[in-house]
């Protein structure tokens, strides 16, 4: 059995004096990290926090985020990480739906958290991670008064470790139940796939509230070092790689594009990098070629999702710039260790190479199911396979090519956006008669949220006003970046808007709509 809590415990035994984490001037050895995790775990236990409780975290990246994940693992309770970019009503829904009883607030989020207090009846304990604040216990005080001893733990590998929310086509986010077994299996598989070792140093820039947290855990499994950046800022990322001699970075194509534009020959020493991984949104082959030419043949792709820690990977050797194999730059690669991948038709039977169908995955790294939604769980995990809702095909050599998203999900800058949620907000505006939201190509973000709207007779509203309306009710990244006004929208015979036909008008001339 192996749980999240075992990662710092075992690594402290194997690599006690090696540096585990570096963050804004603070460095922790593996022994120090495990001691702090033990103190947090013991403090929460003394205060009566047990298996019936759940923790929620509202914070930007910090080493304390990892400590919370690990301490909860030793306690046998789950963590619900919160996307701080969401609007308050969205965060309130997630906290209440998750039945969280403890809320951790990071630097600068204490006031925002307390403003939501009246809508969070289930929260019994408020903990400020970085600053003393009225109404909060202070994180460092809790650690200072607690025992450093290794706590006894009855955590089972099938216990839920993380309840992570992802967007839903119904307009409400879904809680994805990830067990210790699924998470640790996924971290081991990715560590093996990317050959991470104790000599590796990852420049961690993507959010710890997101499934993109996998490089941090994978490096801590093998004794490597995790250099955490609070928020990705391009010049800061490059400086961090240079100063910390990072060997790895995982980022979305958007960030790599920004890095490419900023890096000039000799401006930064990035020679320590041995691997650059990417995932999360479209990476146009021409842009990928430019990145390879500038940073070197050290790129690998990872295809996965919140419901499955790991899926497929495109190796360095398969990132070919010339010849017939250059077609693989448009591929998501082949299954990683411990994962099976198939493409099926509407009857759930495997399709032959080259035929487009739904991509399904199987492995111990797949979620347990959707929180409080047994029907959706049964439908999504039918036959023992996770049905991704992504459409694609396998070629004769087993390489996976993604074609489109069955549920019309938009991936913009690495964040998932579901059209119905945005459409529901657009329909709340009194001037809107019909609305459709689709993805459209965007040089900066890979994909952008594009709205197409029909106004009611004698009603007027401009693009700026309608976008502002959306921003008052949704996280900024979910809001349309552009709005087209039309006289009508294509519909089926029963009046259902044909999103696919609308989407085509924006993607004409592009080889594919998804990475």
- Say what the pLDDT of residue 267 is: 83
- Say what the pLDDT of residue 511 is: 55
- Say what the pLDDT of residue 265 is: 67
> Is the domain covering 410-507 a CATH 3.30.300.30 domain?
yes
* pTM for this prediction: 0.84
* CATH entry, 275-405, from 3.30.70.20, 2.30.38.10, 3.40.50.720, 3.40.50.150: 2.30.38.10
- Say what the pLDDT of residue 255 is: 84
How far apart are the C-alpha atoms of 235 and 139, rounded to whole Å?
Answer: 31
What is the domain partition of the chain in residue ranges? 6-21+30-180, 275-405, 410-507
135 close to 112: Cβ distance less than 8 angstroms: no
Report helix, strand or coil for 192: helix
- Say what the pLDDT of residue 18 is: 98
Give the C-alpha distances (Å, rounded to integers) separating 429 from 264, 426, 433, 459: 46, 6, 9, 11
Structure tokens at 368: 């347990």
Those residues with Cβ within 8 angstroms of residue 303's Cβ, 6 or more apart along the chain or in another chain: 279, 311, 312, 313, 332, 333, 400, 402
95-98-100 Cα angle (round to 5): 65
What order of strands is seen across the sheet that includes strand 340-344? 340-344, 357-362, 386-394, 400-405
Q: Where are the alpha helices (DSSP H) in 323-385?
A: 374-380
Q: Where are the alpha helices (DSSP H) in 145-282?
A: 180-193, 214-222, 234-244, 253-262
409 close to 416: Cβ distance less than 8 angstroms: yes
- Say what the pLDDT of residue 252 is: 84
- Which has the closest alpha carbon to 180: 73, 311, 40? 73
Give the C-alpha distances (Å, rounded to integers) separating 414 from 9, 235, 444, 500: 32, 19, 12, 22
- Say what the pLDDT of residue 258 is: 81
- Say what the pLDDT of residue 41 is: 98
Count of residues making up the chain? 515
404 close to 391: Cβ distance less than 8 angstroms: yes
Those residues with Cβ within 8 angstroms of residue 408's Cβ, 6 or more apart along the chain or in another chain: 169, 418, 419, 438, 439, 499, 500, 503
Which residues lie across from 452 on neighbouring strands?
436, 484
442-445-451 Cα angle (round to 5): 60
Q: How far apart are the first and last CA of the chain?
A: 35
Structure tokens at 77: 């309770």
How far apart are the C-alpha atoms of 456 and 108, rounded to whole Å?
Answer: 42
- Say what the pLDDT of residue 1 is: 59
- Helix axis angle for 214-222 and 180-193, nearest 10°, is 80
- Say what the pLDDT of residue 282 is: 57
- Say what the pLDDT of residue 246 is: 98
Digitized pLDDT (tens) for each residue of the chain, 515 residues in all: 589 999 999 999 999 999 999 999 999 999 999 999 999 999 999 999 998 899 999 999 999 999 999 999 999 999 999 999 888 999 999 999 999 999 999 999 999 999 999 999 999 999 999 999 999 999 999 999 999 999 999 999 999 999 999 865 445 789 999 999 999 999 999 999 999 999 999 999 999 999 999 999 999 999 999 999 999 888 999 999 999 999 999 998 878 878 887 887 678 999 999 999 998 665 767 778 889 999 999 999 999 999 999 899 999 999 999 999 999 998 999 999 999 999 999 999 999 999 989 999 999 999 999 999 999 999 999 999 999 988 889 999 999 998 766 667 788 888 878 787 888 889 889 999 889 999 999 888 888 999 999 998 889 999 999 999 999 999 999 999 999 999 998 875 444 678 888 998 998 877 555 54
Structure tokens at 404: 């489109």
- Span 6-21+30-180 CATH architecture: 3-Layer(aba) Sandwich (3.40)
- Say what the pLDDT of residue 169 is: 44
How far apart are the C-alpha atoms of 16 and 7, rounded to whole Å?
Answer: 12
């Amino acid at each position: 059995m192996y749980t999240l809590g075992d990662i710092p415990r075992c690594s402290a035994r194997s690599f006690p004096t090696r540096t585990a984490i570096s963050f804004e001037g603070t460095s922790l050895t593996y022994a120090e990290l495990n001691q702090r995790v033990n103190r947090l775990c013991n403090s929460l236990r003394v205060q009566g926090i047990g298996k019936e409780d759940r923790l929620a975290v509202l914070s930007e990246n910090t080493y304390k985020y990892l400590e919370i994940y690990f301490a909860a693992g030793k306690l046998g309770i789950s963590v619900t990480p919160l996307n701080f970019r969401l609007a308050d009503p969205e965060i309130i829904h997630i906290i209440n739906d998750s039945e969280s009883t403890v809320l951790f607030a990071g630097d600068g989020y204490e006031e925002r958290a307390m403003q939501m207090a009246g809508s969070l009846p289930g929260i019994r304990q408020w903990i400020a991670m970085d600053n003393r604040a009225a109404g909060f216990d202070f994180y460092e005080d809790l650690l200072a008064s607690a025992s450093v001893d290794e706590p006894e733990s009855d955590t089972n590998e099938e216990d839920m470790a993380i309840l992570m929310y992802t967007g839903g086509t119904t307009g409400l986010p879904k809680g994805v139940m990830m067990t210790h077994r699924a998470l640790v299996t996924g971290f081991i598989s990715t560590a093996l796939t990317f050959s991470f070792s104790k000599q590796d140093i990852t420049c961690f820039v993507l959010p710890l509230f997101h499934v993109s947290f996998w490089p941090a855990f994978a490096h801590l499994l093998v004794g490597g070092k995790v250099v955490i950046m609070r928020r990705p800022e391009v010049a800061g990322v490059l400086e961090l790689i240079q100063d910390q001699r990072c060997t790895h970075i995982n980022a979305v194509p958007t960030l790599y594009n920004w890095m490419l534009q900023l890096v000039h020959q000799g401006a930064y020493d990035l020679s320590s990098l041995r691997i650059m991984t990417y995932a999360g949104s479209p990476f146009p082959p021409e842009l990928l070629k430019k990145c390879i030419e500038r940073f070197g043949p050290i790129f690998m792709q990872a295809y996965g999702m919140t419901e499955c820690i790991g899926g497929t990977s495109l190796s360095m050797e398969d990132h070919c710039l010339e010849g017939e194999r250059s077609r693989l730059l448009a591929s998501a690669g082949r299954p990683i260790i411990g994962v099976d991948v198939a493409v099926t038709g509407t009857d759930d039977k495997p399709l032959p190479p080259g035929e487009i169908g739904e991509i399904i995955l199987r492995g111990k790294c797949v979620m347990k199911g959707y929180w409080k939604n047994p029907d959706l769980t049964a439908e999504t995990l039918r036959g023992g396979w996770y049905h991704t809702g992504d459409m694609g095909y396998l070629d004769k050599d087993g390489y996976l090519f993604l074609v489109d998203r069955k549920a019309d999900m938009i991936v913009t800058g690495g964040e998932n956006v579901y059209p119905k949620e945005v459409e529901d907000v657009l329909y709340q505006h009194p001037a809107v008669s019909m609305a459709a939201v689709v993805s459209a190509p965007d040089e900066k973000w890979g994909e952008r949220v594009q709205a197409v709207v029909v106004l009611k007779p004698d009603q007027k509203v401009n693009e700026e006003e309608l976008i502002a309306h959306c921003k008052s009710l949704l996280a900024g990244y979910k809001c349309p970046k552009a709005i087209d006004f039309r006289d009508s929208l294509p519909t089926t015979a029963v009046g259902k808007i044909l999103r696919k036909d609308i989407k085509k008008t924006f993607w004409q001339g592009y080889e594919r709509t998804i990475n």
